[in-house]
Amino acid sequence: MLIVKKFGGSSVANPERIFNVARRCIEDYNAGNDVVVVLSAMGDTTDDLIALAKKINPNPQKREMDMLMSTGEQISVALMSMAMNALGVRSISLNAFQVAMHTTSAYGSARLKRIDSERIRRELDDRKIVLVTGFQGVNKYDDVTTLGRGGSDTTAVAIAAALHADACEIYTDVDGVYTCDPRVVPNARKLKEITYDEMLDLATLGAGVLHNRCVELARKYGVEIVVRSSLNNSEGTIVKEVTKVERMLVSGVALDKDADRISLIGLQNQPGVAFKVFDLLAKANINIDVILQSIGRDETKDISFTLPDDRVDDAVEILNANKERLKFDKLDVEKDIVKLSIVGSGMMSNPGVAAKMFEALYNANINLNMICTSEIRVTVLIDAKDAQRAAQAVHDAFGLED
Ligand code: ADP
Ligand code: ASP
Ligand code: MG
């Protein structure tokens, strides 16, 4: 069998954990399997590198940020190879350049386009465990790129797809995918299985356990993912096309703490205004989620929308640079908000779901700032201070607890 195993930052946070991972990989290797291991940076390394950069330059060049952040993963694979060597097993560390993991050119949010599998295959044929840096790639200028925070999951799935691996295992600090982040809702229930579609929605709406691009790729190439803990042997969650489990009305609750809101006040009440605003943001690759436009009164209207917090500065700069053309009076940024969503394919045919969520939030005396619904999700924007209470209330209302 060819097995791709990915270990997140907390799983390789210190020497003891590195040896723990090394041993788990060696077990599979000794059983006769080909083993490719994708690693994230140790512990909080990526956060620390970002903080360090901001001390040097509050507005660092995106290219140099990727150059900096990519070092974290390189530390992990080199140390892992040393650990395996100490345990008497042959291994080799490879970075994105050495493998050749080709991406688009967008620094900080690059997408994997193609992975050359030749070098990895050659090393596997030489009976080595192959250790690959997660999160990074190379663009057409031969520059280092990164795939966005949490992107090592995507590296693992892309490698599994490129090598036609028999298994793709993602090891983290929780033992599977739960009905809500167990750190927020302690009585959340572990799911045995979840479909790509449901997982994609949860991941996109803030369930950071998997990078959403990784779920998209897994669905596209039919890669079954197992999400498990690196610290115990419990079974984990399988992410796949169809599940045996009966479709639930709501499969999970997601909380996105990294969402911010921008409001443009006093736009002209004319056709084409929304187009101009969102076209500018789309051209800068900024993902917008919930949008609210006020009913135009007199000559003006307001537009509010949410976006990831790491793109707020870019968005503000672009909008302000176009203030003359867009003709707004004022731009407001609200950072103390979170997005709370319920996700489930069963919602489509059940009209009462949104009302039930609003009732739970009303009973908990939580004010809703914005609402957005689709066939398979309901999202509300609430104050950050209410996040935990709101998630618990909604989770309880749908009977998702263990
Ligand atoms: P890694 O460093 O291994 O990639 P992450 O921190 O990226 O780990 O992802 C694991 C974390 O995701 C968990 O510690 C948990 O707090 C969070 N999480 C959010 N939503 C969920 C969910 N629905 N199920 C499980 N974990 C979740
Ligand atoms: N180290 C990167 C991050 O912290 C990538 C990852 O962990 O998946 O975002
Ligand atoms: Mg992660």
Query: For 348-373, what is each residue's pLDDT tens digit?
Result: 777 789 999 999 999 999 999 999 98
Q: Is 72 in the pocket of ligand 2 (CB under 6 A)?
A: yes
pLDDT digits (tens, 9 = 90+) for 114-166: 999 999 999 999 999 999 999 999 999 999 999 999 999 999 999 999 999 99
Both tokens assigned to 196: 């790509």
- Phi, psi dihedrals of residue 14, rounded to the nearest 5°: -150, 170
Task: State whether residue 235 is helix, strand or coil.
Answer: coil
Both tokens assigned to 259: 């969402």
Both tokens assigned to 363: 């009973």
Give the per-residue pLDDT at 339. Answer: 97
Residue given tokens 């994609």 in the structure block: 200
Mutate to test the pocket of ligand 1, among 76, 171, 172 (most ligand atoms within 8 A of CB): 172
Q: Look at residues 226, 221, 249 and name the one whose alpha carbon lies nearest to residue 239.
A: 226
Nearest-angstrom CA–CA distance, 357 and 261: 22
Q: Is 149 in the pocket of ligand 2 (CB under 6 A)?
A: yes
pLDDT digits (tens, 9 = 90+) for 30-48: 999 999 999 999 999 999 9
Helix 212-221 and helix 152-162, axial crossing angle in degrees, nearest 10: 10
Kindly list the distances between the CA atom of residue 7 and the CA atoms of 83, 153, 351, in Å, as whole numbers in the listed order.
15, 9, 40
Q: Look at residues 39, 15, 44 and name the one whose alpha carbon lies nearest to residue 96.
A: 39
Task: State whether residue 223 is helix, strand or coil.
Answer: coil
152 in Cβ contact with 39 (< 8 Å): yes
Low pLDDT (below 50) residues in the chain: none
Give the per-residue pLDDT at 211. Answer: 97
> Of all protein residues, whose CA lies closest to atom 4 belonging to ligand 2?
46
Bridge-based pairing state of the strands 2-7 and 167-172: parallel
Question: 310: Cβ–Cβ under 8 A, 6 or more apart, which residues?
Answer: 108, 149, 258
Give the per-residue pLDDT at 359. Answer: 97
Beta strand spans in 257-297 (E): 259-268, 291-293
Mutate to test the pocket of ligand 2, among 38, 75, 135 (most ligand atoms within 8 A of CB): 135
pTM of the model: 0.93
Look at the alpha carbons of 201, 202, 207, 211 in this order and tell me if their dihedral is positive or negative: negative
Q: How far is the CA of 40 from the centre of ligand 2 (A)?
A: 6
Give the per-residue pLDDT at 36. Answer: 98
Q: How far is the CA of 108 from the centre of ligand 1 (A)?
A: 21
Give the per-residue pLDDT at 12. Answer: 98
